């Protein structure tokens, strides 16, 4: 079982090495990790993965790889140690040795982080599409009270950004919509809540999940700017720790707060297919009607650029294909699909 999972992870890692944005920060680590996985020194890596898979049997390969990278980076930053495993100028052989030693010596710390955390990369531009889709849905269905829950909310940035035209206007111009962008509509928010796996991510952890590169420094600066510009929304956004895999707790929260719109952005890819399906069923079974679940996920499990957007409505579990986005950081092109018309028509 473990050998099969490791082979699957190695294939995912090989695919991620060919990501078009590999120069943005993680490719150097992925290269060293792939070399270590195939080497005679792989025992330290195997032990880490075995421990994580025992605690989190449903974790996807892409999430395990990205979470391992963030955990290693966190420990190096915490220790003030040279980050040679992320430095393209460090010879590959040396990077492999450093990584193998770290995974051996800090085994417990790495496993603890991977067991207790998720990849909490937070994109300041990712609220652009939910803002327009939720606004269109609310108008089409005559909703004058939107009670919204954001699943996998991280630090709760997306819920705070909704209806903030200053933040929207800064980033919206970098998206090209085909055939055209829906108009900006004010969402009639009555209640806004965000939940994430406990412990709730800190800003420091979010920073760690951004890749070690100038590109990701710019993306993180956008997060800080957005947090500052959406300060006034902080008081109206309730943040709660909640394990999304606890179906009873999730359904109970949805019903208790009479939620009718749920956003779930770059969360489902972290789990195996059966878990994704169960999560969708849980949400749709407890969501108020009329209601909508809006899901954005990587198009190819982090192996390629882009993301796909689907929606579920009124208790149904058949997805509507809303849009495809060329870059999951929301700089580029949005191609609107037929599902958007079905959702808002």
Does 252 share its domain with 106? no
Does 154 share its domain with 49? no
User: Is residue 175, in this structure, part of any structural domain at all?
Assistant: yes
Q: Which pLDDT score is estimated for 1?
A: 45
Final residue in a domain of this structure, among 116, 151, 166: 116
pLDDT digits (tens, 9 = 90+) for 224-276: 999 999 999 999 999 999 999 999 999 999 999 999 999 999 999 999 999 99
> Given strand 189-196, what is the order of strands in its sheet?
175-178, 332-336, 320-325, 307-313, 292-298, 261-265, 146-151, 189-196, 237-241
Does 63 share its domain with 196? no
Does 92 share its domain with 171? no
User: Is residue 109, in this structure, part of any structural domain at all?
Assistant: yes
> What's the DSSP call for residue 204?
H
- Out of 6-10, 132-136, 144-148, 254-258, which region has the weakest mean confidence (pLDDT)? 6-10
Mean pLDDT of 27-33: 92
User: Is residue 290, in this structure, part of any structural domain at all?
Assistant: yes
Q: In whole numbers, what is the pLDDT of the chain averaged over residues?
A: 94
Q: Which pLDDT score is estimated for 78?
A: 86
Q: How many CB atoms lie within 10 A of CB 179?
A: 6
Does 89 share its domain with 206? no
Mean pLDDT of 117-140: 97
User: Is residue 122, in this structure, part of any structural domain at all?
Assistant: no
User: Is residue 283, in this structure, part of any structural domain at all?
Assistant: yes
User: Is residue 121, in this structure, part of any structural domain at all?
Assistant: no
Q: Which pLDDT score is estimated for 305?
A: 86
Does 11 share its domain with 83? yes
Structural domain including 281 reads 128-344
User: Is residue 246, in this structure, part of any structural domain at all?
Assistant: yes
Q: How many residues does the chain have?
A: 345
Strands (E), the chain: 146-151, 175-178, 189-196, 237-241, 261-265, 292-298, 307-313, 320-325, 332-336
Q: Which pLDDT score is estimated for 20?
A: 62
Does 81 share its domain with 141? no
The percent of residues in the chain predicted with pLDDT above 70, rounded, is 97
Model confidence pTM above 0.85: yes
Does 216 share its domain with 195? yes
Does 141 share its domain with 83? no
What are the backbone angles phi and psi of residue 52, rounded to the nearest 5°? -70, -45
Q: Which pLDDT score is estimated for 24?
A: 66
CATH label of the domain that carries residue 205: 3.40.50
Number of domain units in the chain: 2
User: Is residue 123, in this structure, part of any structural domain at all?
Assistant: no
Does 72 share its domain with 209? no
The answer to whether the CB of 148 falls within 8 A of the CB of 238 is: no
Does 137 share its domain with 19? no
Final residue in a domain of this structure, among 88, 116, 144: 116
Q: How many CB atoms lie within 10 A of CB 140?
A: 12
Does 159 share its domain with 213? yes
- State how far the Cα of 155 lies from the Cα of 121, in Å rounded to an integer: 10
The percent of residues in the chain predicted with pLDDT above 90, rounded, is 86
Q: Which pLDDT score is estimated for 212?
A: 87
Q: Which pLDDT score is estimated for 19?
A: 67
Mean pLDDT of 156-183: 97
Mean pLDDT of 88-100: 94
Mean pLDDT of 58-66: 95
Final residue in a domain of this structure, among 90, 116, 142: 116
Q: Is the pLDDT of residue 82 over 80?
A: no
The answer to whether the CB of 52 falls within 8 A of the CB of 111 is: yes
């Amino acid at each position: 079982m473990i050998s099969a999972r490791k082979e699957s992870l190695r294939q995912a890692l090989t695919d991620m090495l060919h990501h078009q944005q590999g120069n943005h920060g993680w490719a150097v680590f992925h290269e060293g990790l792939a070399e270590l996985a195939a080497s005679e020194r792989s025992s330290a890596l195997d032990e880490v993965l075995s421990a994580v898979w025992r605690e989190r049997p449903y974790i996807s390969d892409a999430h395990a790889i990205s979470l391992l990278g963030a955990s290693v980076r966190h420990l190096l930053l915490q220790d003030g140690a040279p980050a040679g495993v992320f430095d393209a100028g460090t010879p590959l052989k040396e990077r492999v040795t450093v990584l193998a030693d770290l995974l051996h010596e800090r085994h417990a710390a790495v496993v603890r982080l991977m067991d207790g955390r998720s990849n909490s990369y937070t994109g300041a531009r990712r609220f652009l599409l939910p803002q327009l889709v939720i606004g269109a849905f609310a108008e089409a269905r005559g909703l004058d009270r939107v009670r919204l829950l954001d699943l996998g909310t991280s630090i709760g940035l997306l819920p705070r950004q909704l209806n903030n035209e200053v933040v929207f206007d800064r980033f919206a111009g970098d998206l090209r919509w085909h055939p055209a962008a829906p108009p900006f509509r004010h969402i009639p928010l009555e209640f806004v809540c965000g939940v994430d796996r406990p412990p709730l991510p800190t800003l420091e952890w979010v920073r760690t999940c951004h890749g070690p590169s100038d590109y990701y420094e710019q993306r993180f600066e956008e997060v800080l700017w957005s947090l500052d510009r959406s300060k006034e929304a902080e008081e109206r956004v309730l943040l709660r720790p909640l394990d999304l895999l606890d179906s009873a707790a999730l359904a109970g929260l949805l019903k208790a707060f009479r939620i009718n719109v749920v956003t779930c952005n770059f969360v489902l890819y972290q789990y195996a297919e059966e878990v994704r399906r169960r999560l969708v069923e849980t949400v749709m079974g407890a969501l108020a009607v009329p209601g909508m679940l809006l899901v954005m996920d990587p198009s190819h499990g982090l192996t390629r650029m882009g993301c796909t957007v689907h929606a579920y409505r009124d208790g149904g579990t058949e997805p509507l294909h809303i849009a495809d986005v060329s870059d999951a950081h929301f700089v580029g092109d949005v191609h609107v699909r037929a599902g958007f018309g079905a959702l808002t028509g």
